[in-house]
A = this chain, B = another copy of it.
Amino acid sequence: MRIGVIGGGSVGLLFAYYFSFRHQVTVITRRKEQAEAIRRNGIRLLTDGEEHIAKTEAEVKPDAGYDLLFVAVKEHQLGAVLPDVERAAPRNVMFLQNGMGHIPVLERRDAGSDIYVGSVEHGAVREDDCTVRHTGKGAVKWAAFKTASPPDQLEKELASVHTAFPFIWREDWHDMLAGKLIVNACVNPMTALLRVENGKLIEQPAYLSFMRLVFEEASRILAIEDRQASWENVLSVCRQTKRNTSSMLADVLAGRKTEADAIMGYLLKRAEESGERAPHLAFLYDSIKALEKE
């Protein structure tokens, strides 16, 4: 397939690297310098003490004619790239944003592309313009959001991208994103505020009790049916990523804008619409926004 990847961050580089083995990949970056560097050096992947390089194309604007275009920018950067996505008019487009802040935006789109959403469960850190460290091997879950044709052909292609880069099909995009959003809402702001690794949230009883209060609000807002399973998933993610620095903590420490709007902001908007109270999410939202300004 002809693959486009919009975004030269950790997720964009990771996707471009793994697709390059069996597909023709172009990375679309915001900065000209990064596109040049990728064209010159390829994408370097660091994993398990090894170093691999994959050659890919790179541009600052997407072409027309992609079979599949990944949109791998943060939710708050989506507005800046959507016109390019429209112009490129790919056959299939998959949005990889965290949270659910992008959903209202996608609902308003009416382009010709089949639209999918994906949930990236890999750990990855960008080290420089061409280098990404694959710190945690997981999977990409994906689901149809607004499609005209069945995903059979795409499913077949995605099943064989690379053994270290599995794709898992999900029937219901809402359940898929909501499950991830709950985890993000529980783990990200608390770790960023307290400046702790993910595991601390379950090791310290007082943090665990507090996280449960956050979970109650988030799961009520999203009308999660199987709350027990969802809570156990939160605990399991904390255990499996116990030595990890959450992306929100990393953003706070690096002085970058966080995904607070896509995560807590989205939930608070939903809560407001239905007149629900969510004091813990509001507290975490305001305190992370204050940290961003520091």
**Docked pose: A194 CA to B293 CA in angstroms:** 12
Q: A213-B279, A279-B213 are in contact. Are A286 and B207 (CB under 8 A)?
A: yes
A290 on interface, CB distance cutoff 8 Å? yes
**Docked pose: A25 CA to B252 CA in angstroms:** 51
User: Are A204's CB and B286's CB within 8 A?
Assistant: yes
Tell me the smallest distance from the CB of A1 to a CB of chain B, in Å: 46
**Docked pose: A213 CA to B284 CA in angstroms:** 14
**Docked pose: A206 CA to B267 CA in angstroms:** 14
User: Are B196's CB and A279's CB within 8 A?
Assistant: no
**Docked pose: A193 CA to B285 CA in angstroms:** 14
A47 on interface, CB distance cutoff 8 Å? no
A280 on interface, CB distance cutoff 8 Å? yes
- From the candidates B195, B206, B283, name the one contacting A210 in the complex (CB within 8 A): B283
**Docked pose: A221 CA to B282 CA in angstroms:** 25
Residue of B nearest to A282 (CB): B206
Q: Which residues of B contact A195 (CB under 8 A)?
A: 294
Chain A interface main SS type: helix
User: Are B193's CB and A279's CB within 8 A?
Assistant: no
Tell me the smallest distance from the CB of A140 to a CB of chain B, in Å: 34
Q: Which residues of B contact A285 (CB under 8 A)?
A: 206
User: Are B206's CB and A286's CB within 8 A?
Assistant: yes
User: Are B196's CB and A193's CB within 8 A?
Assistant: no
Q: Which residues of B contact A209 (CB under 8 A)?
A: 277, 279, 282-283
Q: Which residues of B contact A206 (CB under 8 A)?
A: 279, 282-283, 285-287
User: Are A194's CB and B282's CB within 8 A?
Assistant: no
Tell me the smallest distance from the CB of A77 to a CB of chain B, in Å: 25
A83 on interface, CB distance cutoff 8 Å? no
**Docked pose: A212 CA to B90 CA in angstroms:** 51
A150 on interface, CB distance cutoff 8 Å? no
Q: Hey, what's the 0/1 contact readout for A132-151 against B, CB within 8 Å counting as 1?
A: 00000000000000000000
A205 on interface, CB distance cutoff 8 Å? yes
Tell me the smallest distance from the CB of A217 to a CB of chain B, in Å: 12
Q: Hey, what's the 0/1 contact readout for A184-198 against B, CB within 8 Å counting as 1?
A: 000000000111100
A229-285 residues at the B interface, CB under 8 angstroms: 277, 279-280, 282-283, 285
Q: Which residues of B contact A205 (CB under 8 A)?
A: 282
Tell me the smallest distance from the CB of A189 to a CB of chain B, in Å: 12
Q: Which residues of B contact A286 (CB under 8 A)?
A: 204, 206-207
Could you write out 17 A-B pairs with CB less than 8 Å apart? Answer: A193-B193, A193-B287, A194-B287, A204-B286, A205-B282, A206-B282, A206-B285, A206-B286, A206-B287, A207-B286, A207-B287, A209-B282, A209-B283, A210-B279, A210-B282, A212-B279, A213-B279
